[in-house]
Amino acid sequence: ESHPECNARVPAIMEALEKLELSPK
């Protein structure tokens, strides 16, 4: 937990993965 910025990036990555899965090819 010494790098709070990393935790903030996690949700951003999750959203990107969800968008890729939702978007057709």
The predicted-structure confidence for 1-25, as pLDDT tens digits, reads as follows 566 666 667 788 888 889 998 877 6
Residues composing the chain? 25
Alpha carbon of 21 to those of 4, 12, 24: distances in Å? Answer: 27, 14, 7
Q: Which pLDDT does position 11 carry in this prediction? A: 82
